[in-house]
Each structure stands twice: as C-alpha cells, then as structure tokens.
Amino acid sequence: MIEINGLTRLFGPIAAVNGVNLRVAKGDVLGFLGPNGAGKTTTMKMIAGYLAPTSGRISICGHDVETDTLAAQRLLGYLPEGAPAYGDMTPAQFLAFIAEVRGFKGADAKAHVDAVVAKTELAPVLHQAIDTLSKGFKRRVGLAQAILHDPPVLVMDEPTDGLDPNQKHSVRNLIREMAPEKAIIISTHLLEEVDAICTRVAIIDRGRIVVDSTPAALRAQGPLEEMFRTITTSDTDRVRERLSERAGSSQASAP
C-alpha cells in the first residue's frame, strides 16, 4: 500500500534522505528507527505530501503522492512530529474542523469525532485550548486527527513520544488493534516499542536504509540495542566526519 522508490531529499549539500526504497503492505507495522538527524521525519513528510522529494517516487495505494496528491492524502493519516497546529482551538473544535476537512457532515462527523475521542481518551480535556494542554494530551490530539477518517495507511512520527507509561500502553494497543486492516509506519527511538507492536523494522542512517528486516530476525542476531549502536553513526561521529570533510576541503582549496 506504500511504495517508495529511490527517494532522495537534499537540503543544500546535505542528503537528508538518500535513495530510500521501502514497501509497506496491509497488516505491516513498520518500525522506522535511526539516530537523531538520520532522515526519519524528512522521509515521513515526503510520504505525507508535505515536502517535495528532490528525486524518487512515492505511491499510496497506487496514487502517486506528487502527481495525485489529494487522492493519496485521502487514504493517509499523518501524525507529524511535535504538537498539532491551531493551538488556540480546543480539541473539540479542532477535531470538528478536521472532520469537516475530511468531508464528513452532521451526525456522521460527530460520530467520527466521538469515536476518536474515546479511542485516544481525550474526554477530560475536550474544551481546553490545545496550547494549554500537557505534552501527552497534545500528542493524543495529533493522534486523534490522524485516525479520524479511518485511513488504510498511517504514518506516525514518534506516536508515543511524551506519553506516560499508561498512555504508551494504550496507544500501542490502539495501533495493534488497527494493524490488520492498515499499512502503518511509525518512527520511534524506543526499541521496546519495536518488540511490542512492529512486524518489520527499517533502520535509516545518514539518509540510507541500512536494515530492512523483522524484529524476530534481528533479535536472533543479538540485542537490538547493540546492533543499533554498531550499524548507525552517533551524533559525535557525524560531527567529527563533517569537521574533517571541511578541514579536507579547505586544505584542498588553500594555495
């Protein structure tokens, strides 16, 4: 349902995403892992049609994200990194607005809003401005808008970031319940989350996919955390590399 071919995004000289190929089918929950700055959010923004690729193609259930954007976005729920926009709205107003944008009307719109409010346990804060909510509740508002139209494809950027252990547990259950009918990508830094809900794992490092496997196959090779450390580049190493590249290029241009 999600097909990504040769996806690349440059920011100036830096390739934030570099030749990524991924396929995610119905029933898959792909855990997208990688160190800070590896390219997870950039990849997800491109899947959601919020950022244009420099090159490469993405299709959602056969609809090309660049040339058939609206059709692709209709089939997709996207939880961006951080808090939802429109912070002066309450969750009730924001979700009613999202329901309208998604084309629901009257009782149908209300039924969809009520269903996601129950699923994400938002009732206690429904009439409080989003800006004034705690981080975890803001995250749950974001999650609610992503799943409101029950899309077949879900892309969630660190869905459990900022949630307390009880909420992490209930959001993971929610993802697990939705999984059989959907193609899901979640990014995460929590390796236990991969074990808890993911059927597949892709690890990205400096814009390139370095592992595309299953949690079970990776576990068989040893602790996931050790593998992650061995195959990805730490921030410190990356900064050191950049500095030595820069030193190299300034030496090269010196008279």
Segment 60-119, which members bind Mg ion (CB under 5 A)? 81
| Listed ranges 30-38, 67-75, 117-125, 161-169: which one lies at the site for ligand ATP (CB under 6 A) | 30-38
Among 22, 30, 34, 191, binds ligand ATP (CB under 6 A): 34
- Residue 253 partner contact from Mg ion, ligand ATP, none using kind-dependent CB cut-offs of 5 to 8 Å: none
160 lies in the site for Mg ion, by CB under 5 A:
no
| Nearest distance from C-beta of residue 129 to Mg ion, angstroms | 26
Which residue reads 């609206």 in tokens?
70
Q: Per-residue string for binding with ligand ATP, 5-24, x by CB under 6 A?
A: ------x--x-x--------
Between residues 34 and 84, which has the closer beta carbon with respect to ligand ATP? Answer: 34
| Nearest distance from C-beta of residue 226 to ligand ATP, angstroms | 19
- Residue 243 partner contact from Mg ion, ligand ATP, none using kind-dependent CB cut-offs of 5 to 8 Å: none
